């Protein structure tokens, strides 16, 4: 999943996204009451070092939160 996110970022830059914009991973869904929910679970600035362990931890925590019910 991390590779797919980074590839999407690279593809976006090739299509005109600004290199200096933050990379954000947004999780969207609908709760039990049919209300739309959205949360930014990961934000990486263009100057941040990519830390695979940190990314994995954030993604795992987001996944657990999504499937909590």
Residue count of the chain: 69
Q: Quick check: 69 pLDDT over 60?
A: no
pLDDT at residue number 49: 85
Dihedral angle sign, alpha carbons of residues 7, 13, 19, 21: negative
- What is the value of pTM for the model shown? 0.60
Local confidence band at 65 (pLDDT 50, 70, 90 cut-offs):
confident
Structural domain range at position 12: 2-66
- pLDDT digits over 3-49, tens only? 887 788 889 889 998 888 888 888 887 877 888 888 888 888 888 88
- The whole-number pLDDT of residue 62 equals 80
Find how far residue 44's CA is from the centre of its chain. 9
Domain total in the chain: 1
């Amino acid at each position: 999943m991390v590779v797919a996110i980074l590839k999407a970022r690279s593809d976006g830059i090739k299509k005109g996204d600004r290199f200096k914009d933050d990379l954000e991973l947004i999780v969207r869904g609908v709760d039990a009451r049919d209300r739309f929910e959205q949360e930014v679970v990961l934000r990486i600035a263009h100057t941040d070092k990519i830390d695979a362990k940190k990314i994995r931890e954030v993604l795992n925590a987001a996944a657990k939160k999504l499937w909590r019910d």
